[in-house]
Structure 1
Amino acid sequence: MKRPLSLGVRLGLWCALIAAVASAVLGAYLYRSFEQQLRQRDDVQLLGKLRQLRQLLGHSGTQAMLRSQTEYLRDTMSGESNALIEIHAAPADGGGLLLAINPVGLALPQLPPVAVQREATVADIRHWSSPAGAPAAAVNAWARLGDATVEIRLARLYPEREALLAGYRRHIVAASLGAGGLAAVLVLWLIWRGMAPLRRLQAQTAVIGPQSLALRLDASDTPAELHALVHGLNAMLARLESGYARLNQFAADLAHELRTPLATLTGQSQVMLSRPRTEAEHARLLESQLLELERLNRMVDSLLFLARGEHQAQNEPLRCQHLSGTEELARQADYFTDLAEERGVRIVCHGDAPVWAEPQLLRRALANLLSNAVRHARPGSVVELRAAAGANAAGAVLEVVNEGEPVPPESLPRLFDRFYRADPARSGEGNGLGLSIVRAIMVRHGGEAEVWQTAGRIGFRLTLPGPVPAAAGTAPAGSVT
């Protein structure tokens, strides 16, 4: 598989191309300006020769004298082998060739002659290329020769101009390529220097692993543009460290929770097999083992519920409904009436509020809270179930409050952790996952699960948001119609 070019090489190549193109465009502009200046200079010189030739002819007198002064005109007017002169008689006088200074034998163009009374201008000059490829310019004009009128055909070749411009073009190409190469080298060097903070970050991240999640990236010497990235990575590392720590703690707690029933089952089986037992003893053993197996099943079911809840929270929307807070609390109170009577506890319900929730999940959360409250309530006390409208009349707040042994303040924030028990001596009651399930259900609903304690009373508060407003003509997301 072909390896893609690095970002630095790509930027270097693009900058080299931009520099080369910019140099070429600038060189082309300067080349055109230089070429126009050379042509303008040569045109002015050509018009000056025409003016001088008209003056000389005006003082020459006759055509005979013109023929006798051919060498004089050649030396005075041409001066260079690239200046070409032809003088023709007027058509009225026969139009014959009176003078020809044209050593290269180039056919001069027949242009409309400029009148005697008018000075020739640049607009009267015609430019073309000779058969040899040299630039050329020509102008025709009438002039006075004594009493007669003659036509002057004046031209000039500029081979040196083409050679000069060819050298200039070579310099432009060389400068463009050199500028592109120099830009590529400078950009690559600057990019290498500019990416030094990234290389340092790479070196720092290379040493971070499962055993060193406490390390953080140093943003002190990074550019301002990378500060947000570094802070985001550090926040991600903090979340990973916290999640890894919770995972390790969960694994340890799970092993501890499983070890007790498994040790009980193993010990009971070993004792039973140590000697022959009666049928009644086998029945008692099987009954005891069945209780431990049921406890394991409840634990596995709770763990599966939590795992599915985390997955569904990302992939499946809730099917929420409008529920009555009073009816839901009364349903749970009726279900736990017998357990409450066994423990000498009374359950009462207060208030009402419309609740927007998935029925089965809400009932499971309330059942977990009420079961926990009845188990830990002081005999003869009252367990209160409350329902009230949320802030700004949006959503609902449900509370389960009981009287019982106070919970250490440092344990309150951890009550919703998996397998956590404020009183380790009561580890045989429940599996330590009920409150974790309550919090997971509230998170799925976008709400909160909180605990508070005051004057021997402890309460669990569930805050549920209201339905999300939908566009006209559509049902709220996750609703059941």
Structure 2
Amino acid sequence: MRLPQSLGWRLGLSGALVAALASALLGGYLYSSFEQQLLRRDDVQLLGKLRQLRQLLGHSGTPELLVSQADYLRDTMSGESNALIEIYAEPSGGGRLLLAINPTGLSLPRQPALPLNQEAGLQHLTHWTTPEGVPAAALNALAHLGASEVEIRLARLYPERRALLADYRLRIAAASLAAGGLAAVLVLALIWHGLSPLRRLHAQTVAIGPHSLALRLNAQDVPIELRPFVEELNAMLTRLEQGYGRLNQFAADLAHELRTPLATLTGQSQVMLSRPRTEADYAHLLESQLQELERLNRMVDSLLFLARSEHQALAGALQCQTLSAAEELARQADYFADLAEERGLSLRCEGDAPLWAEPILLRRALANLISNALRHARPGSVVALTARTEQESGLSCAVLEVVNDGEPLQPEVLPRLFDRFYRTDQSRHRDAGGSGLGLAIVRAIMEIHGGSAEVRQSPGQGISFALRFPSSSHTRSSQGLTQ
């Protein structure tokens, strides 16, 4: 039999089965206890009758009087018609039968008679069942009859016990079934009430969609056992909301970035086709369009790089090695020296630190930072390139820093500088150069290395971009876990 898929029905059926089993076991225990108590009561009463018979026979005069007092002996058994008495003149039943109160002629068990000086106990009783299926108990004992000894065979039939136990069994079975059914109903009701937070949780989750990602599940309305699960779901919804927002912003920025060069290419082509042009005009148009196409190619390459970095397609292919930060900074300073001189700037390198990185990606990150610093630095200022080693959480890390003295930015702008296509208002024009992906690529490169990219602004010290590379052992273990 296959259980229903509903959790409530499964718990309800399980609870009903447990309740029915518990009721049956309890009923069986009560029935067994009642049967034992009933049997003990009857046995104690039979032992009491034996004591009465011994006392009565001890005060009788002769066996003849015993025969004449048969009705009196029957009355001694409290008028119980199911009591059987046989008294023999000699022990072991070999003598003359003095008295027989046994209307049915039932053969009583023959067993060693209890001596005169021994008090009868429950262990001396014999229990058996008659051919008609009636339970019975018997006891043989010696007694004084005047100056002689006689053997008493005392027995009793219990037909009422069988009927009483049969009725009790029916009552126990009915009570067990009723208790099991009532318990099942109560269990189902309690489970239905206990699962109400899950139904409310279901209603809350149904209300969450692409246009309502700001909704959150109520963690206070669920049992304590489910609160960590609901809190993790809320955290996941927060990440989804942020990711969905970034995706929408990315789509809007991408459309904006592509619309400008496409509009330029389309407009130039329409103008050139509006009337005949000279060969020089066509050459100039092709050169201008080639620049736009190269810009589009760089943008596509950058987007592909970011997409691969997000799926960690580059992490497993890193060819990291130990590098000298001073040498790498000097290499970049030589490369950008002419551009800095053209803009009236100077580059200064300071410090050194060993770092574990992939050379090509490191140089690309540094080139993006330095070109960004040269683009926004004040004329005549110095762009500082520094390297140092810091301790962070008990681990050493190499820190490369690029500092430029540019126009101050609003504090709320700083956290968004590493977002894709984000550019400050004063540099939002294409003439300023760049596509708004340089700093996003820097952050992606640092995440691939297991490090971080940070930006901070200090009054009088300009804007500082810092790259933190963890130690080589930490980076290797992180890459091993990623792979």
1:432 is matched with 436
For 1:247, the equivalent position in structure 2 comes to 247
- Which whole-Å CA distance do the structure 2 matches of 1:358 and 1:97 have between them? 120
Partner residue in 2 for 1:395 = 397
Q: Which 5+ residue runs of structure 1 have no aligned equivalent?
A: none
Q: What's the CA shift for 1:316?
A: 4.9
Once the two structures are TM-superposed, the CA of residue 307 in structure 1 deviates from its matched residue by 1.3
Give distance in 2, aligned partners of 1:52 and 1:209: 92
Distance, in Å, in 1 between the alignment partners of 2:341 and 2:174 is 100
Q: Following superposition of structure 1 onto structure 2, how do residues 352-431 of structure 1 map, counting pairs within 5 Å? A: 352-391=352-391, 394-422=396-424, 423-428=426-431, 429-431=433-435
- Superposed CA deviations along residues 62-102 of structure 1, whole A, max 9, x for unmatched, are 44443444444344337223212222343689444443322
String of CA shifts for 1:279-303, please: whole Å, max 9, x gaps.
Answer: 4333332222222111111111111
Calculate the TM-score normalised by the size of structure 2: 0.88
TM superposition shift of 1:325? 2.0
1:397-434: CA deviation from partner (whole Å, max 9, x where unpaired): 11011233333444222211110111344334111111
Q: Are the counterparts in 1 of residues 315 and 448 from structure 2 also a CA contact under 8 Å?
A: no
Alignment of 1:250-289 (within 5 A): 250-289=250-289
Pairing partner for 2:447 from 439, 443, 455: 443
- Could you tell me the TM-score, scaled by structure 1's length? 0.88
Root-mean-square deviation (CA), in Å? 3.0
CA–CA distance in structure 1, aligned partners of residues 399 and 142 of structure 2: 111
Identity in percent: 69
8 Å Cα contact 2:87-2:150 kept in structure 1: yes
Tell me how many residue pairs correspond in the alignment. Answer: 474
- Report 1:34-433 matches (<5 A): 34-77=34-77, 79-90=79-90, 94-218=94-218, 227-312=227-312, 316=316, 320-391=320-391, 394-422=396-424, 423-428=426-431, 429-433=433-437
Q: Quick one: distance in 2 between partners of 1:317 and 1:27?
A: 72
Is the Cα contact below 8 Å between 2:355 and 2:472 reproduced in 1? no
For 1:2-21, list aligned pairs within 5 A: 4-21=4-21
Distance 1:155 1:368, change over 3 A: same
Using the TM superposition, give the Cα deviation of residue 389 of structure 1 relative to its aligned residue in structure 2, in angstroms.
Answer: 1.0
Letter in 1 for 2:407: E
Once the two structures are superposed, what CA deviation does each residue of 1:93-118 show, in whole Å capped at 9, x if it has no partner?
A: 94444433223333322222110111
1:50 CA drift (Å)? 1.0
Contact 2:3 2:10 (8 Å CA) reproduced: no
Contact map agreement 1:404 1:456 (CA 8 A) in 2: no
Maintained 8 Å contact 1:19/1:176: no
Equivalent residues of 1:421, 1:427 under 8 A apart: no
Are residues 208 and 415 of structure 1, via their aligned partners in 2, closer, same or farther at CA, if it must alter by over 3 Å?
A: same
1:466 equivalent in alignment to 2:465:
no
Deviation at 1:465, TM superposition (A): 2.7
Counterparts in 2 of 1:330 and 1:3: CA distance versus 1, 3 Å:
farther
Partner secondary structure for residue 391 of structure 1 = strand
Deviations 1:336-358 (A, max 9, x none): 34443444433232111222334
User: Aligned pair in 2 of structure 1 residues 143, 355: CA closer, same or farther (>3 Å)?
Assistant: same
Report the alpha carbon displacement of residue 51 of structure 1 after superposing the two structures with TM: 1.2
> Within 1, Cα distance between the matches of 2:372 and 2:212?
39
